[in-house]
Amino acid sequence: MTPAHAFALTPEQRRMVEETRSLARDVLAPIAEGGDPGRVNRTLVGALAEHGLLPRLFPASAGGSREDDRISALELCLLREALAMESTEAETALALQGLGAYPILLSGSPEQVRRWIPPVAGGAAVPAFALTEPEHGSDAGALELAAEPDGDGWRLTGQKAFISNAPEADVYTLFARTTPDSGPKGVTAFVVPGDAAGLSGTSIELIAPHPIGRLELDGVRVSGEDVLGDVDGGFRVAMRTLDLFRPSVGAFAVGMAQAALDAAVAHAGARRAFGRPLREFQAVSHALAEMATRTQAARLLVYAAASTYDADPEDGAVTRASAMAKLAATEAAQWVVDRAVQIHGARALERGHLLEHLYREVRAPRIYEGTTEIQREIVARELYR
């Protein structure tokens, strides 16, 4: 199937999708399989840079290959969807390089950009986006990690949890509270090197192994030069990045749904039961039709949200469109993968089967970067603006 023909993509965009899929299937997937589960795969990150995918995320002025200042949201979605169809590990590695680095690219000083973005774009440095805390996931405005004044800087003390690429990242975009009892308006973003004194961490083991962990900050010293954007302006730094990346979470989900659908279509056409192919049973054929419809509907919402962002990142419609896209795509992908497992039967439950892998992978996107419930809250709130 060629799903990227939807939404009137240009020939160049369709070619990019096909080339990315081929690269993921033939080159990146074998590298991903050779990695240590639950750890940063630096060989894979290097391959993403070597084969030109990482540089596509960043401008040439900062070590990337783009002529413009940032990647378009639609192109980011197409890359993530194409990678997810062939290698979820490669998709995640690319996404995390972007998510960790874009706060620096969008809000950093020229010195911060010069120091960190070229090595990230070149695959030599691994960044991380450190927002979530043990007691504050969806309610990001309630962060407690304290930034206490210390001369011309601050001391950071507290914990972060469920941080992708932690504790192995080379640099963290880390959000801390500089003004107590002030909600989102009292949060500041800092650039913190991974080897900073007082910074430590441990890995977290999830049902789908990803490089993710906890961070402990014991009086980590940061200066005014380490602030991203403005003091007490960190929430905007986070939201600028998430507005760009949230539709592409939906694209990741769509890629997994498409992979599951393709596997189910192939299996139902080849597998025979009671003297005929599975696809000739109405229960199976109707399930396939519903899987295809939900996948395509989710894809179109994702592309529409990305196009809305590209037209004007400050447009008030971006928030609602992005929330709808992530909500619909992640929920649809969970359903499609589950139905694909059902059509395959017990063989899909075997360790190492594509659908066993997707069944574990597809669960997390309904939670991170805003849960399904939070997306519904956003959509409902936007209806009354």
CA distance 211 to 242: 20
Spell out the residues 6+ positions from residue 314 whose beta carbon is closer than 8 angstroms to its own. Answer: none
Q: Give the type of residue at 195.
A: D
Query: What tokens appear for 135 in the block?
Result: 């007691």
CA distance 207 to 140: 24
Instruction: Determine which one of 331, 350, 369, 377 is catalytic.
Output: 369
Q: Give the type of residue at 227.
A: V
Active site residue 369: yes
Q: Which residue has the tokens 């939900």?
A: 294
> Which class for 69: exposed (0-12), middle (13-18), buried (19 or more C-beta within 10 A)?
exposed
Q: How many of the other CB atoms lie within 10 Å of CB of 245?
A: 21
CA distance 252 to 245: 11
- Would you say 213 and 201 are in contact if contact means Cβ atoms under 8 Å apart? yes
Q: Give phi and psi for 136, each to the nearest 5.
A: -140, 100
Q: Would you name the residues annotated as active-site residues?
A: 369
